Amino acid sequence: AVGFLNGYIVVKTGLPSFIVSLAFLFILRGLTIALSIALTNKTIISGVGNLAEGDWLGAIFGGQIGTEFFIWLAKMGWIETYSDGSPIVAGIPMVVVWWFLLTAACSFVLLRTRFGNWIFASGGDANAAKNVGVPTDNVKIILFMFTAFCATVFAACQVLEFGSAAADRGLLKEFEAIIAAVIGGALLTGGYGSVIGAFFGALIFGVVQMGIFFTGVDSDWFRVFLGVMLLIAVLFNNFIRKKVTSAR
């Protein structure tokens, strides 16, 4: 519903998508914190994991798969174990499973369907796409709704993984998402990019973040890396775009 409202405002007013999305981000974040304090007098709601334990829907978002396989790996001595013999890695978290499933589904839609062509056309030149019969307004609204759906899936996975809902969780994630997409080859001007590219952009982002953490390097260097990678990615993407357009 929030995604529909964002998309509807964008197509009816002609305002930039980024501005409308950013405005609603602050509205929702402010409402979440204010209502959490007003209703519960705190910004963290704990005990969610206990309530979801044993629930089939909770397992879809907060469970793990392959636990028996990782127990077998631990018995074979191929992965580290705790003092009680249980594997350090208990299984593949569902947030990773959702990541792969959404990547596969979205990549198929973008590259193999008519709707995928509509997405590229609407992002590249909305007026030209509309002139050849592409329902650009509907495409944009659907994409806003799907983006909201993906955000909801990730939020549900986080809440069930940590066992609590924190009103202030997710700060600056909006910019990290943009950086991951740009590193993956997407152009902010629209019309160019791929789901697989965004997939590897997020992978690079996550690997570097965890690598800096485990090596004990000051976390401030991670932000330096993000800024440098973003600048390099934008320059490289702009260079490729100019090469492609000049070749035409």
pLDDT in tens, 44-53: 888 888 888 8
Structure tokens at 16: 């930039």
Radius of gyration of the CA atoms of the chain, in A: 21
Per-residue pLDDT at 221 = 81
pTM for this predicted structure:
0.84
Per-residue pLDDT at 117 = 93
CB-based contacts of 227, cutoff 8 Å, min separation 6:
none
Per-residue pLDDT at 248 = 57
Per-residue pLDDT at 56 = 83
Per-residue pLDDT at 21 = 92
Per-residue pLDDT at 32 = 87
- Residues 232, 238, 244, 246, CA torsion sign: negative
Unique residue bearing structure tokens 């002139």: 131
Longest C-alpha distance within the chain, in Å? 67
Positions of the chain with pLDDT lower than 70, given as ranges: 244-245, 247-248
